[in-house]
Amino acid sequence: ESLFQNTPLAGPDKIFHLTAVYASDEFPQKINLGVGAYRDNDGKPWVLPVVKKAEDILINDPNRNHEYLPITGLPTFRAASAKLILGADSPAIKENRVSTCQTISGTGANHLGVLFLSRFYRNDVPVLISKPTWINHRDIVNNVGLEVREYAYYDPKTNGLDIDGFLKSLNDAPNGSIALLHACAHNPTGVDPSQEQWRKIADVIAAKGHYPFFDCAYQGFASGDLDRDAWAVRYFVERGFELLVCQSYSKNFGLYGQRTGCLTVVSKNADAAVKIESQIAKLQRAEVSNPPAYGARIVNLVLHDPKLYAEWNDNLRTMSSRIMDMRKQLYDKLIELGTPGTWNHIIDQIGMFSFTGLKPSQVQVLIQKYHIYLTDNGRISMAGLSTKNIDYFAKAVNDVVR
Ligand code: PLP
């Protein structure tokens, strides 16, 4: 008998399980709409051309080595990351009230963010997460001993935002709760608040003394415009909130496996910022010691070189416009087929994902009969669609909703 005989078996991760089933399916027209990774029109992973260029520069650098990075990561990468999300002329940066730490991508930033708050903010308030949210948020929060509470977000009747429910949930939560907000391209719904709705959200968060916790996994990837996708975060900073923001370079640089991200904490003054950074460094030291260097060096090069930066912006537009084009084509085809229901949400939603409104039973038919793989909440990764499979997909959807 093992000491762990009574350890309960954990179920597989839904999304990665779906990918494994897809991989073992031999049907030629199979489609994977599960995983949130960009694919080109041939269904292939896309190494951004600007990333290839940066890699060439790095590999040919005679001073290249594999030394440890500092505990909080590559200093120039951290500074550039804060500038990218907060804006080059952010008052918070000018006033030195920003603390940054390079993290194990967006997941690590979320983890380090809640870990820090659980130790140095408070641990007697819930973390408010949207219903639904990214599949990993709940576990990340629970892992550091904090509780989650869901706030209303998605309205299945309109396939859009339930703003009244959202504001009410924020109001009903204990004062000083941690409000986990998706900065842009909400995962899994693709539904974002408008700027006017963000203003109302900020009003309630201020009135209740909640702590805004932004998760930004899609800056530039969502709209193709880095500033537009950072609007909500910058607006909250402008309003004078203390807050934190998690950045991921998985999607916008295609650096998924390189685990490249950053945690940025904005506080009231430079004194607090120094203290915060020192404690975050201590937490990081005990967990990862030093973050991985390769992805951070690539991002660092691109963010500091005007030519590469411009090329990166082009690459971002290539990805975001292909996705928007797929939204448009899917919408047009469903309308053309006279598919029952309204489909405007497909073009109104933004980012990698669309919440189709398909029911679990319909999803099962898509999987079993059509070999089209998606999660049972009806979420599809738009990046899994291409001009080559979109007809097949639209016809399948048209069939299952009838
Ligand atoms: N946060 C959200 C909302 C996401 O959708 C993702 C990725 O899917 C992440 C964070 C983190 O991803 P990563 O750890 O690969 O940066």
Q: What is the mean pLDDT of the chain?
A: 97
| C-alpha span between 126 and 180 (Å, rounded) | 10
User: Ligand 1 pocket check: which of 136, 140, 141 to mutate, most ligand atoms within 8 Å of Cβ?
Assistant: 136
End-to-end CA distance of the chain: 54
- Determine the residue of 16, 102, 107 to mutate for testing ligand 1's pocket, defined as the one with the most ligand atoms within 8 A of the Cβ atom: 107
Cβ < 6 A, ligand 1 pocket: 36, 105-107, 134, 182, 187, 215, 217, 248, 250, 256, 261
pLDDT at 50 over 90: yes
- Catalytic status, residue 312: no
3-class DSSP assignment, residue 356:
coil
Pocket test residue of 81, 246, 248 for ligand 1, highest count of atoms within 8 A of CB: 248
Nearest CA to ligand 1 atom 13: 106
Give the per-residue pLDDT at 16. Answer: 85
The residue annotated as part of the active site, out of 46, 53, 192, 215, is: 215
Contacts of 126 (CB under 8 A, 6+ apart): 146, 147, 148, 149, 173, 174, 177, 178
Q: 3-class SS at 51?
A: helix
CA distance 305 to 354: 34
> Kind of pairing, strands 243-248 and 211-216?
parallel
Mean pLDDT of 162-175: 98
Give the pLDDT mean for 207-221.
98
127-131, strands of its sheet edge to edge? 98-104, 260-266, 243-248, 211-216, 178-182, 127-131, 148-152
Average pLDDT over residues 89-103: 97
Enter the DSSP assignment of 68: P
pLDDT tier, 395 (very low <50, low <70, confident <90, very high otherwise): very high
- 389 C-alpha to center of ligand 1: Å? 26
Closest protein CA for atom 12 of ligand 1? 106
Q: Strand 178-182 and strand 372-373: pairing? A: unpaired
Question: What is the Å distance from ligand 1's center to 24 Cα?
Answer: 25
β-pairing verdict for 243-248 and 160-161: unpaired
Q: What is the pLDDT of residue 14?
A: 85
Is 131 in the active site? Answer: no
Amino acid at 76: T
Are 69 and 36 a contacting pair, CB within 8 Å?
A: no
Q: Is residue 13 pLDDT above 90, yes or no?
A: no
Ligand 1 centroid to Cα of residue 226, in Å, is: 17
Predicted pLDDT at 41 = 96
> Which atom number of ligand 1 is nearest to the Cα of residue 104?
14
How confident is the model at residue 358, as a pLDDT?
95
Residue nearest ligand 1's atom 2 by CA: 217
Percent of the chain with pLDDT over 70: 100
Q: Whose CA is nearest to atom 10 of ligand 1?
A: 106
149 phi/psi in degrees, rounded to 5: -135, 135
Q: How confident is the model at residue 35 (pLDDT cuts 50, 70, 90)?
A: confident
Q: Pick the catalytic residue: 251, 312, 333, 343?
A: 251
Q: Report the amino acid identity of residue 6.
A: N
Q: Annotated catalytic, 251? A: yes
Helices 294-304 and 49-59: crossing angle, nearest 10°? 110
Q: Name the phi and psi angles at 193, rounded to 5.
A: -65, 150
| Cα–Cα–Cα angle for 341, 345, 351, rounded to 5 degrees | 145
pLDDT digits (tens, 9 = 90+) for 333-374: 999 999 999 999 999 999 999 999 999 999 999 999 999 999
From the CA of 249, how far away is ligand 1's center (Å)?
A: 9
Phi-psi region of 175 (alpha: psi -120 to 50; beta: other; left: phi over 0): beta
The residues near 379 (Cβ < 8 Å, ≥ 6 apart) are 188, 189, 353, 354, 355, 356
Nearest ligand 1 atom to the CA of 137 is 1
What number does the ligand 1 atom closest to the CA of 36 have?
8
pLDDT at 43 over 90: yes
Return the biggest CA–CA distance within the chain: 63
The ligand 1 atom nearest the CA atom of 256: 15
Is the predicted pLDDT of residue 36 greater than 90, yes or no? no
CA of 296 from ligand 1 middle (Å) equals 17
Q: What is the DSSP string of 145-162?
A: T--EEEEE-EETTTTEE-
Once rounded to an integer, what is the mean pLDDT over residues 182-204?
97
Q: Which is nearest to 280 in space by CA: 82, 102, 84?
A: 102
* pLDDT single digits (tens) 220-279: 999 999 999 999 999 999 999 999 999 999 999 999 999 999 999 999 999 999 999 999
Neighbours of 320 (CB within 10 A): 24
Q: Find the 106 Cα to ligand 1 centroid distance in Å.
A: 5
Residue nearest to atom 11 of ligand 1 (CA): 106
Alpha helices in 25-70 (DSSP H): 49-59
What pLDDT is attached to residue 37? 94
Give pLDDT tens digits for 308-321: 999 999 999 999 99
- Tell me, what's the ipTM? 0.99
Say how many Å lie between the CA of residue 247 and the centre of ligand 1: 9
Answer whether 383's CB lies under 8 Å from 39's CB.
Answer: yes
Beta bridge mates, 211: 178
Taking the C-alpha atoms of residue 228 and residue 371, their distance in angstroms, rounded to an integer, is: 37
Average pLDDT over every residue of 286-296: 98
Nearest CA, atom 8, ligand 1: 36
Task: Name the residue among 213, 248, 264, 249 with its Cα closest to residue 87.
Answer: 264
Going by C-beta distance under 8 Å and a sequence separation of 6 or more, which residues neighbour residue 321? 224
Cα 202 to ligand 1 centre (Å) = 23
